[in-house]
Amino acid sequence: MCNGEMIILNSLYERIIILTISIVICSMAAGCNPEPSTTVNPGTIPSQPSPVKKLVFARANDSISLDPAKPNDNESFKVTVNIFETLVKYEEEGDGIKPCLALDWKVSEDGLVWVFNLRRNVRFHDGTPFNARAVEFNFHRWMDTDHPYHTGGFQYWYYIFSGFPGFVESVTALSDYSVKIILSKPYAPFLNTLAMPAFAIASPEAIKKYGEDFYRHPVGTGPFYFEEWKPGESISLKANRDYWDRIPLIDELEFRVIGNNRDRVEALEQGTVHIIDGLTTEDISRVQENPELRLYMRPSFNVGYLAMHTLKKPFDNQKVRLAVSHAINKDRLIEDVFKGQAKPAKNMIPPLLWGYNDDVEPYEYNPQKSKALLEEAGFPRGFKTTLWVMSQPRPYFPNPRKVALYIAEDLRQVGIDADIQVFEWEEYLNRIKEGEHYLALIGWIGDNRDPDNFLHTLLGSDNAQPGRASNYSFYKNREADRLLAEARQTFNISFRKSLYMQLQVIIHEDVPAIPIVHTMPALAAQRSVRGYIPQITGIEPLSAVDLDMTANQKE
């Protein structure tokens, strides 16, 4: 080996020693970050990934559609409010409206021109931008029957219920983040209506991509995005980590269908689900006795009623309808079936809603008066008819079949032989919308805190069209329609209140339907659930709900 080679090797050894010392010193120094080692030092514990927080909400019925423009049932909206968002939304407490996808808005003095300034830097779950053109697209899809994506046999129920075909004249994007809506006439409940989940803004590109199948591939801007739907079993969502507002506290959200009440309660007790609804009075007692469970009572914002098809004999006769009203013993029904967990109804709107007319006298239970009215109407020996009822529990009828049995027995006492017929929920809705029934037990849960949402939806003649009816009594009264229209076109709350009070008197005298109960629907949850607050409308986003993962739960 020559001297030159020896110098090179010595220099190399020195560099190796210096590099080794540098690495050791760097690893000991604060703030230095050498490449991680693949070996674990003795005595250390590698960090574990956080457990997935999956919240399971069990209910009796599946959703009908996940396209918010299509359905008119709460089971669908329970899911869609977690996927989609509206321009404005309700305040958590009180009756006010606050911004959502729209930051602010202004309206002209005549109430016809509305301009909404939209939130920036919001994206749909498919990555496409939310902007004024997306809002314009959604409105025209709802409004225009010749729109290329007003398809799939959609009836756009809430658009029709709210009278939008006669109110919205045009919707125009003024810029990327400003949209103008012109109404043909003033519409006082406009903001309340826009806050309803049916008017959520969907991704135009997803609608174009999936067409008629969009209801199975929902894409919105909300706190959760859609993952999977197993019809009749479950719907799975995942947290939207790119959400513009507060990121959900849970990672996954599942809506599971458990049709049997007892099975649903047992699943909660066993820890395989976290929240359940549709509790019966027996379930309530069971939950209250279990220290591991928590009971919730949703504020009463509904009405359960008996719809009488006023265009079919003999229910086209007001005396017959009045006879039916006097035949039903509401006090006994509420005591025996609802176990006191409901209040008797006398109007078609709940008492907590402004405009409620407490001066209306309830129909008294009087079988003798009922028989006398039937005789005056030409039915001294009564008659035969059918009484329809849904098979699954609803918030206003937690035990619908039992309600039907009690009413049928009351009717039998005055000579009306009502044959009970039971249908699955989706079929039931479709058939009563067509007007195939004579008597039908049904109800309504308020979508917003305006009397119009109850009275126009349930009794307006323009909602009595077969195939898309929400006026299941098919009631048509010119004076009632005039009051409904007038109440919609004034922004004076005191005047609107007086109109609705007059309307309730007319409805009470005509008896197109018999209000039976207002309930406080019961829900239950495991103690591990944190931050769940039932909302008055019966549906709520679940992004603020958390799970205490230290609790022992079965997966």
253 and 187 in one domain? Answer: no
243 and 180 in one domain? Answer: no
Domain membership flag for residue 16: no
* Residue after which a domain boundary falls, among 146, 175, 205: 205
Domain membership flag for residue 413: yes
179 and 94 in one domain? Answer: yes
536 and 459 in one domain? Answer: no
Residue 286 has pLDDT above 90, yes or no: yes
* Residue after which a domain boundary falls, among 173, 205, 237: 205
Burial label for 24, CB within 10 Å (0-12, 13-18, 19+), is: exposed
Q: What is the pLDDT of residues 226-263, one digit of tens each?
A: 999 999 999 999 999 999 999 999 999 999 999 998 99
Among 37-41, 315-319, 518-522, 529-533, which stretch is predicted with the lowest mean pLDDT?
37-41
Q: Which pLDDT belongs to residue 39? A: 37
Q: What is the pLDDT of residues 85-133, one digit of tens each?
A: 999 998 876 668 999 999 999 999 999 999 999 999 999 999 999 999 9
237 and 179 in one domain? Answer: no
92 and 175 in one domain? Answer: yes
Residue 50 has pLDDT above 50, yes or no: yes
Q: Which residues have C-beta within 8 Å of that of residue 50, sequence separation ≥ 6?
A: none
Residue 157 has pLDDT above 80, yes or no: no
* Domain CATH code at residue 174: 3.90.76.10
The pLDDT > 70 percentage for the chain reads 87
Domain membership flag for residue 9: no
| CA-based nearest residue to 463, from 369, 135, 420, 454 | 454
Strand 416-423, strand 383-390: pairing:
parallel
* Residue after which a domain boundary falls, among 205, 237, 269: 205
Among 93-97, 125-129, 175-179, 302-306, which stretch is predicted with the lowest mean pLDDT?
93-97
Among 155-159, 217-221, 459-463, which stretch is predicted with the lowest mean pLDDT?
155-159
| CA-based nearest residue to 204, from 146, 147, 120, 121 | 147
**Mean pLDDT confidence for 272-292:** 93
Domain membership flag for residue 245: yes
Tokens found for residue 443: 């109800």
Q: Which pLDDT belongs to residue 146? A: 86
**Mean pLDDT confidence for 163-181:** 90
Domain membership flag for residue 19: no
Domain membership flag for residue 259: yes
| CA-based nearest residue to 432, from 394, 488, 391, 470 | 470
Distance between CA atoms of residues 259 and 2, nearest Å: 91
Q: Which pLDDT belongs to residue 96? A: 84
Q: Where are the beta strands (DSSP E) in 277-376?
A: 293-297, 302-308, 342-344
Q: Which pLDDT belongs to residue 528? A: 97
Contact between 518 and 328 under an 8 Å Cβ cutoff? The reply is: no
486 and 367 in one domain? Answer: yes
- Tell me how far the alpha carbon of residue 346 is from its chain's centroid: 25
Q: Which pLDDT belongs to residue 56? A: 98
Residue 271 has pLDDT above 70, yes or no: yes
Contact between 328 and 407 under an 8 Å Cβ cutoff? The reply is: yes
* Domain CATH code at residue 542: 3.40.190.10
**Mean pLDDT confidence for 271-288:** 92
Domain membership flag for residue 448: yes
* pTM summary value: 0.78
Q: Which pLDDT belongs to residue 529? A: 98
* 348 vs 31 pLDDT, higher one: 348
Distance between CA atoms of residues 329 and 414, nearest Å: 12
Band of residue 27 on the pLDDT scale cut at 50, 70, 90: very low
Give me the domain span that covers residue 121.
Answer: 85-205
Q: If phi over 0 gives left and psi between -120 and 50 gives alpha, with beta otherwise, what is residue 296?
A: beta
Residue 486 has pLDDT above 90, yes or no: yes
313 and 429 in one domain? Answer: yes
Q: Which pLDDT belongs to residue 221? A: 98
> How many C-beta atoms lie closer than 10 Å to residue 123's C-beta?
16
471 and 354 in one domain? Answer: yes
Residue 31 has pLDDT above 80, yes or no: no
Q: Which pLDDT belongs to residue 161? A: 63
Residue 14 has pLDDT above 70, yes or no: no
Residue 25 has pLDDT above 90, yes or no: no
Band of residue 44 on the pLDDT scale cut at 50, 70, 90: very low
Task: Quote the number of domains for the chain.
Answer: 3
151 and 105 in one domain? Answer: yes
Residue 34 has pLDDT above 60, yes or no: no
Q: What is the pLDDT of residues 424-459, one digit of tens each?
A: 998 999 999 999 999 999 999 988 889 999 999 999
332 and 279 in one domain? Answer: no
404 and 477 in one domain? Answer: yes
Domain membership flag for residue 24: no
* Domain CATH code at residue 478: 3.10.105.10
Find residue 98's DSSP bridge partners: 89
Distance between CA atoms of residues 301 and 23, nearest Å: 69
Mean pLDDT for all residues in the chain: 89
| Residues recorded for the chain | 555
Q: Where are the beta strands (DSSP E) in 221-359?
A: 224-230, 234-239, 252-257, 275-276, 293-297, 302-308, 342-344
